[in-house]
């Protein structure tokens, strides 16, 4: 989650704690609005259990047939890592905010070293032609490799195996191939959807003479599953709760009807990239969307799509709260007599602000005074600050409880509840939003009762770096052993 500290000085506003010089709504009126919003954003345990059942059905359908709303993509990562994988591997992660390039030295016995660089992706690059986007990735990788050759870290003349982390839904029929189904997380680069992104990246690597061979295409969630299991074998599920959201787990081949024609051993296991952010898209039958969620969906670059993601991911939570605030400004409830044009700019209210608003209840909510005066040039009353804190809690709690529904659907489907399991979780929401993990655990208990405590989330290992390298190593070893060499 990006830090909400500006890169340039902002005007400083002084204010009293009560703002008695400004007109404002009464505490009673604020309380009335809060009760109305609580009704809209509160998820009962019964409603959560209904969502879990619908989610399970969507998972099963995705395993049975291609081209389903929740695609349940077989990744061709077969089984768990042994912990003995070793060697130098490159990892490239095309994420929602940054391009990350890593050199991972796997040392066996579950140990590694990592060297990495990050390159910022501009909003323009996310909408540029797809091949240009991959050219940028290749240029950054070449700079990284050349620097590490000169530093003596990478041997001169070596062609290193590369794990490519591409965290957008792709259909795969083998591990080094992936046709982009649709962009998510604000990307819209043309001439990419419907194309093999590995082939596009290979072209760019050749064009820029980069000494790397793409061995495996994976998503950050699958990488997180593998890396987390590498250090904690109790891990059976991995989730990302950040700019986007997703989950991965290991499924028995015999329980994936849509790949039965491949003739694989039914007892083998393969990692499934759920792409669960798409749950309940288009039909919108199961998720509790408010009018604010509907507005975000209709104004997005992919209306109707990624319905689950739009309720719980870091890209949208700040915008949900901003829309509520703007509605109350229009109704003459908030910021009376003040110029509110800054907060009326779409996506100007970062999800990081929600995190800060919930972080510290002391000093008459000084953090909230700072956010609104510093970034939006408006003054707040104490009643408004208390109202905003409560709003942030409502939006954040709903996101966490819906996240629990997703986890519970996999737990229930796979029968993990009795024995329990660990869930490796990563992403800015999980890592930085106060109380997010606790609210997920609270939600799991509301869904399953006391047995829900058997499901424990923890901060995951680095999936897009370490995990991607481990997947590349596993794939290299598998193919050298002659197991499913064409997959």
Render pLDDT for 450-475 as a digit per residue (tens, 0 to 9): 999 999 999 998 888 999 999 999 99
Q: How many CA atoms lie within 13 A of 42 on its CB side?
A: 8
Per-residue confidence (pLDDT) for residue 23, from 0 to 100: 64
Average pLDDT over residues 68-74: 94
Of 262, 263, 316, 256, nearest in space to 292 by CA: 316
Residue 92's pLDDT band (cuts 50, 70, 90): very high
Beta-bridge mates of residue 195: none
- Give me the torsion for CA of 187, 188, 190, 193, rounded to 10°: 80
- Higher pLDDT residue, 13 or 343? 343
Phi, psi of 272 (to 5 degrees): -110, 125
Average pLDDT over residues 155-167: 89
Residue 363's pLDDT band (cuts 50, 70, 90): low
Per-residue confidence (pLDDT) for residue 49, from 0 to 100: 98
- Higher pLDDT residue, 92 or 169? 92
Furthest CA-CA distance within the chain? 78
Type and span of the H or E element at 394 = helix 382-414
- Higher pLDDT residue, 340 or 19? 340
Per-residue confidence (pLDDT) for residue 361, from 0 to 100: 65
Residue 413's pLDDT band (cuts 50, 70, 90): very high
Whether 376 and 343 have beta carbons less than 8 Å apart is answered as yes
pLDDT at 64 over 90: yes
Per-residue confidence (pLDDT) for residue 16, from 0 to 100: 36
Per-residue confidence (pLDDT) for residue 366, from 0 to 100: 83
**156 Cβ partners below 8 Å, 6+ apart?**
149
For residue 202, the tally of other CB atoms under 10 A from its CB is 20
Whether 220 and 234 have beta carbons less than 8 Å apart is answered as no
**Catalytic residue list:** 167, 182, 220
Residue 5's pLDDT band (cuts 50, 70, 90): very low
Report the CATH superfamily, name and number, of domain 82-231+462-480.
Answer: ATPase, nucleotide binding domain (3.30.420.40)
Phi, psi of 244 (to 5 degrees): -120, -170
pLDDT at 185 over 80: no
pLDDT at 91 over 80: yes
pLDDT at 46 over 70: yes
Average pLDDT over residues 263-269: 96
User: Across the chain, what does the average pLDDT equal?
Assistant: 90
Strand, helix or coil at 445? helix
The percent of residues above 70 in pLDDT, for the chain, comes to 94
Average pLDDT over residues 56-80: 96
Per-residue confidence (pLDDT) for residue 13, from 0 to 100: 35
Phi, psi of 37 (to 5 degrees): -70, -35
Question: Which letter does DSSP use for residue 122 in this model?
Answer: P
Per-residue confidence (pLDDT) for residue 183, from 0 to 100: 87
- Higher pLDDT residue, 262 or 366? 262
CA distance 442 to 151: 49
Average pLDDT over residues 16-27: 56
Per-residue confidence (pLDDT) for residue 10, from 0 to 100: 36
- Higher pLDDT residue, 299 or 20? 299
Average pLDDT over residues 149-158: 85
**What are the CA-CA distances from residue 31 to residues 25, 38, 331, 462, 468 (Å)?**
10, 10, 15, 43, 49
For residue 268, the tally of other CB atoms under 10 A from its CB is 13
Average pLDDT over residues 118-137: 92
Strand, helix or coil at 245? strand
86-94 and 98-108 as β-strands: parallel, antiparallel, unpaired?
antiparallel
CA distance 262 to 265: 9
Comparing 17-26, 96-105, 210-219, 345-354, which segment has the lowest mean pLDDT? 17-26
Per-residue confidence (pLDDT) for residue 155, from 0 to 100: 85
Residue 22's pLDDT band (cuts 50, 70, 90): low
CA distance 275 to 247: 7
**What are the CA-CA distances from residue 470 to residues 91, 110, 236 (Å)?**
10, 10, 17
Beta-bridge mates of residue 216: 163
């Amino acid at each position: 989650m990006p830090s909400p500290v500006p890169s340039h000085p902002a005007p400083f506003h002084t204010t009293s704690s009560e703002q008695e010089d400004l007109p404002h709504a009464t505490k009673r009126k604020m309380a009335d609005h809060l009760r109305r919003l609580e009704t809209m954003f509160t998820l009962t345990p019964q409603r959560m259990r209904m969502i879990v059942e619908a989610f399970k059905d969507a998972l099963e359908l995705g395993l049975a047939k291609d081209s389903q709303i929740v695609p349940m993509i077989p990744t061709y990562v077969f089984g768990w890592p042994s912990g003995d994988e070793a060697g130098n591997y490159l990892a490239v992660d095309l994420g929602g905010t940054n391009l990350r390039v890593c050199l991972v030295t796997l040392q066996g016995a579950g140990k590694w070293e990592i060297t990495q660089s990050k390159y910022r992706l501009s909003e323009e690059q996310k909408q540029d032609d797809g091949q240009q986007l991959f050219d940028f990735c290749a240029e950054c990788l070449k700079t990284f490799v050349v620097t590490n050759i000169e530093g003596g870290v990478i041997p001169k003349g070596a062609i290193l195996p590369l794990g490519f982390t591409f965290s957008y839904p792709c259909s795969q029929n083998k591990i080094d191939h992936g046709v982009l189904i649709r962009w998510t997380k604000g990307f819209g680069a043309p001439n990419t959807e419907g194309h093999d992104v590995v082939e596009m990246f290979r072209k760019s690597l050749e064009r820029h003479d980069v000494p790397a061979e793409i061995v495996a295409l994976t998503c950050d969630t699958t990488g997180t599953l593998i890396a987390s299991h590498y250090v904690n074998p109790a891990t059976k599920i991995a989730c990302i709760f950040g700019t986007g959201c997703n989950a991965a787990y290991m499924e028995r081949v015999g329980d994936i009807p849509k790949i039965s024609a491949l003739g694989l051993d039914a007892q083998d296991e393969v990692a499934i990239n759920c792409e669960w952010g798409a749950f309940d898209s288009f039909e919108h039958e199961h998720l509790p969307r408010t009018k604010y969620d509907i507005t975000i969906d209709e104004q997005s670059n992919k209306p109707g799509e990624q319905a689950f993601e739009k309720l719980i991911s870091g890209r949208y939570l700040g915008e949900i709260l901003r829309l509520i605030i703007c509605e109350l400004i229009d109704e003459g409830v908030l910021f009376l007599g003040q110029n509110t044009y800054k907060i009326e700019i779409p996506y100007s209210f970062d999800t990081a602000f929600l995190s800060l608003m919930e972080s510290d209840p002391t000093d008459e909510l000084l953090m909230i005074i700072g956010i609104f005066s510093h970034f939006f040039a408006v003054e707040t009353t104490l009643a408004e600050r208390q109202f905003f804190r409560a709003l942030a809690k409502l939006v954040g709690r709903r996101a966490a409880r819906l996240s629990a529904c997703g986890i519970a659907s996999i737990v229930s489907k796979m029968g993990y509840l009795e024995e329990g399991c660990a869930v490796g979780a990563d992403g800015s929401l999980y890592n930085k939003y106060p109380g997010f993990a606790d609210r997920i655990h609270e939600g799991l208990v509301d869904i399953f009762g006391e047995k829900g405590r058997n499901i424990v989330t923890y901060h995951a290992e680095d999936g897009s770096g370490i995990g991607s390298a481990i997947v590349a190593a596993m794939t290299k070893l598998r193919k050298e052993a002659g197991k499913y060499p064409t997959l």
